[in-house]
């Protein structure tokens, strides 16, 4: 066999090799870029978590500073003893979700009937909304945990 007989086979082999190199080269480049993106995303998520943690800390400090003063402003002893008891529990961070909802309702009613201390009412209601949200979240997580534990127990 002569060289000219092998030239088409060599040309096909070179073409296929070039095509495979081009195809897999692009795939490898995409994978490399994805790896870089994963690193960048991980870094960004870390920064976001740090900022959220800082924001939560600052918010908690803000509420601790003003919560007691707002509660003291809203007390009406001896006019509404039930509300005052709930406000005391609110100040001590020992409200149940039902008590928090009752206090929120009472404050919402009072804010509409008075022109005094509007800002104190708004702050207290906002804090109660946050507290109720947090309490519901804890309840939901506890329910999920119980369901998860029961599910694991059934699988055994």
pLDDT at position 143 over 70: yes
What is the model's pLDDT at position 1? 63
pLDDT band of residue 156 (cuts 50, 70, 90) is low
Domain ranges of the chain: 3-155
What is the model's pLDDT at position 116? 83
Q: What is the spatial distance between Cα 57 and Cα 38, in angstroms, rounded to a whole number? A: 28
Long-range (24+ apart) CB contacts under 8 A made by 35-38 are: none
pLDDT at position 70 over 70: yes
Query: What number is the average pLDDT over the span 115-127?
Result: 92
What is the model's pLDDT at position 144? 85
Q: What is the pLDDT of residues 88-107, one digit of tens each?
A: 999 998 999 999 999 999 99
pLDDT > 90 fraction of the chain, expressed in percent and rounded: 44
Q: What is the pLDDT of residues 13-29, one digit of tens each?
A: 888 888 888 888 888 88
pLDDT band of residue 79 (cuts 50, 70, 90) is confident
């Amino acid at each position: 066999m002569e060289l000219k007989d092998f030239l088409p086979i060599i040309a096909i082999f070179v073409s296929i090799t070039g095509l495979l190199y081009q195809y897999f080269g692009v795939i490898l480049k995409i994978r490399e870029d994805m790896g870089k993106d994963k690193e960048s995303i991980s870094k960004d998520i870390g920064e976001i978590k740090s900022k959220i943690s800082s924001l939560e800390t600052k918010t908690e400090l803000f509420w601790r500073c003003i919560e007691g003063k707002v509660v003291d402003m809203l007390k009406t002893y001896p006019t509404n003893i039930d509300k005052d008891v709930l406000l005391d529990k609110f100040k001590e961070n020992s409200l149940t979700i039902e008590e928090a909802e009752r206090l929120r309702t009472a404050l919402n009613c009072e804010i509409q009937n008075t022109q005094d201390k509007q800002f104190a009412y708004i702050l207290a209601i906002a804090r109660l909304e946050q507290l109720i949200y947090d309490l519901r979240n804890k309840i939901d997580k506890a329910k999920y945990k119980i369901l998860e534990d029961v599910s694991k127990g059934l699988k055994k």
